[in-house]
Amino acid sequence: MSVENKLGKVLLVGAGPGPVDLMTVRAFRAVESAQALLYDALCSEDAIALAPAGCVRIQTGKRAGKPSMKQDEINRLMLRLARKGLRVVRLKGGDPSIFGRVGEEAAFLNGFGVETEVVPGVTAACAAAAQFGFPLTHRGEARRVVFTTARLEAGKLSGDWSAAADPEATLAVYMGGDVAGDLAQRMIAAGRPAETPAVAVEKAGGADAKLYPATLATLAERVAEAGDGPLLIVVGEVAAQAHAVAEIVEQSRRTA
């Protein structure tokens, strides 16, 4: 008599912006109990090290603009591992529901009868706001937050940037470092004043995070000073509060 293998479960887990102490307890426990761990390039070594001995560990890449495993390959790999009855953890930087393709992966796996569970994580915009002392919403200044990415098509910035004209919206732009100049021009053309406060945050949430205060007019030149770490751009009146924090830090450094 043949025995049918029981399908494993796939957990789509947000690792947060990097530091392990910014992972949720549920995410922490998920990695600790993984039998197979598929992790993105932005996941920290400390987070990966939580996986138990004997866990299959596979780096899936997924770093913008750099060679990485194709999404179809990742989907099929998760399915193969789940069909072996393994508890699979797909570990993603930040929150899986924000530019993490969690919907695509869950739909693919569910289509083959594989159970999935989503474990949320701290996204880079929230980490940056907490770390550098500015809110994403603020009474009288920002009633809305827009999470977006900056994509290049045929060498030009693509997408609808009409939301940039809203003076009460904070824009959190992921993966926008390479197109900061075009981004600023699009937002100014949409009606946002050139003096609108902005910040670029490199490696948000990490101990080595860096803040680059700017305005839309100076955003491109400030971003050019950044390294090659993951970069988040925040535009809106709330960013002025980060400018104040940066000035205090700079004054402390000069007097130290």
Indicate the pairing of strand 88-92 with strand 9-14: parallel
Mean pLDDT of the chain: 90
pLDDT interval class at 1 (50, 70, 90): very low
- State residue 165's pLDDT score: 84
* Residue in 21, 46, 62, 95 annotated catalytic: 62
Residue 8 in this model has a pLDDT that exceeds 80: yes
**Catalytic: which of 6, 9, 21, 40?**
40
Q: Give the pLDDT confidence of 19-31 residue by residue, as tens digits.
A: 999 999 999 999 9
CA distance 222 to 62: 26
Q: What is the DSSP string of 1-23?
A: ---PPPP-EEEEEE-BTS-GGGS
70 catalytic residue (yes or no)? no
pLDDT value for 152:
62
Q: Which pLDDT does position 4 carry in this prediction?
A: 54
For domain 9-119, the CATH class is: alpha beta
Q: Average pLDDT in the 197-217 region? A: 95
pTM of the full structure: 0.88
Specify the CATH class of 124-255 in words.
Answer: alpha beta
Residues forming CATH 3.30.950.10 domain(s) in the chain: 124-255
Q: How far is CA 51 from the centre of its chain?
A: 22
Residue 228 annotated among the catalytic residues of the structure: no
The confidence score (pLDDT) of residue 238 equals 96
Residue extent(s) of CATH 3.40.1010.10 domains in the chain: 9-119
pLDDT tens per residue, range 127-141: 999 999 999 999 999
Identify the CA nearest to 39 among candidates 62, 16, 21. Answer: 62
Q: Which amino acid type is present at position 236?
A: G
Report phi then psi at 143, rounded to 5.
-100, -10
Nearest to residue 211, comparing CAs of 195, 221, 193, 223?
Answer: 223
Share of the chain above pLDDT 90, in %: 77
Secondary structure (DSSP) of 106-151: HHHHHHTT-EEEEE----HHHHHHHHTT--SSBTTTBSEEEEEE--
Mean pLDDT across the stretch 214-223? 97
Output the pLDDT for position 178. Answer: 87
Q: How many CA atoms lie within 13 A of 103 on its CB side?
A: 3
Span 75-84, average pLDDT: 98
Check residue 256 and give its pLDDT: 59
Which of 112, 47, 42 is CA-nearest to residue 75?
A: 112
Band of residue 2 on the pLDDT scale cut at 50, 70, 90: very low
The whole-number average pLDDT for the span 171-193 is: 91
pLDDT at residue 243 greater than cutoff 90: no
